């Protein structure tokens, strides 16, 4: 079974702290080997699996968080982190009750756009959370709305992007950053959001979204202080994890589409070395 060195990220969720641990050899099969785990980890893995199968997502989340916080030396802790990220997103984008969500009763003249602005969220997230296939909402309809703000931290030294909500890490993505470390560091805000963006390549005619030469991929989220920099998709997913861009933060298309639906305009982004 193939193995390779990876950076393992341990999330101490109880305190809202991200800890970093370097390089261990981990099994990349995607399956958690319960039988070979220590007794405490085995018990927590079984609890998480059982709670997930019962639909108790918050309880399952707590079990995964405890593994990461209390057993960071578990050889498959990165796989646990990935499962936790998937579960966190499932909680956020479903109608699961959470301390960070509320139930809203639609009144006259409401719209998804107005509600998204009021609660600093996105229309896409409201629609996903409520199983809506269109923007139409009805007076008296009950909507589940996520209220905790989202933010992003990009760590150039490890080429990772951390999505956070209410100071808790939701999910960690591998990204590409600027060649020769040119991606700017500092604090930014998402100023523009474009689906299927046209690439206005310097010295060239505009490159349409459907062109394989359009390096922006399927989504663009531009920064406020310099419109030339932002977070976007890619046509070269094999280069994710490397410092190869002209300065932007590059993600796999599926990942940037996931992020695009969660981050409202104005969401803070911090880039650090």
Q: Which is catalytic among the residues 71, 100, 228, 232?
A: 232
165 torsion bin: left (phi>0), alpha (psi -120 to 50), beta (else): beta
**228 labelled catalytic:** no
**232 labelled catalytic:** yes
Q: Which residues are catalytic?
A: 232, 248
């Amino acid at each position: 079974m193939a193995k390779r060195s990876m950076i393992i990220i341990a999330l101490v969720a109880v305190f809202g702290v991200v800890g970093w641990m370097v390089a261990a050899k981990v099994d990349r099969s995607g399956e958690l080997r319960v039988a070979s785990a220590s007794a405490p980890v085995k018990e927590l893995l079984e609890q998480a699996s059982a709670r997930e199968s019962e639909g108790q997502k918050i309880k399952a989340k707590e079990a995964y968080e405890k593994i990461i916080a209390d057993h960071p030396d578990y050889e498959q802790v990165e796989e646990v982190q990935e499962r936790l990220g998937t579960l966190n997103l499932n909680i956020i984008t479903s109608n699961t009750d959470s301390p960070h969500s509320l139930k809203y009763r639609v009144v006259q003249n409401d719209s998804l756009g107005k509600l998204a602005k009021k609660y600093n969220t996105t229309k896409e997230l409201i629609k996903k959370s409520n199983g809506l296939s269109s923007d139409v909402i009805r007076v008296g309809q009950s909507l589940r709305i996520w209220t905790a703000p989202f933010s992003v931290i990009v760590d150039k030294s490890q080429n990772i992007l951390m999505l956070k909500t209410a100071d808790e890490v939701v999910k960690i993505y591998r990204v590409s950053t600027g060649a020769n470390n040119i991606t700017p560091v500092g604090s930014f805000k998402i100023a523009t959001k474009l689906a299927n963006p046209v690439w206005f390549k310097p010295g060239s005619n505009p490159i349409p979204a459907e062109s394989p030469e359009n390096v922006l991929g399927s989504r663009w989220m531009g920064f406020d202080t310099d419109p030339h920099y932002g977070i976007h998709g890619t046509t070269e997913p094999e280069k994710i994890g490397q410092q190869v861009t002209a300065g932007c933060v590059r993600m796999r298309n599926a990942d940037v589409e996931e992020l695009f639906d969660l981050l409202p305009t104005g969401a803070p982004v911090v880039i650090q070395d």
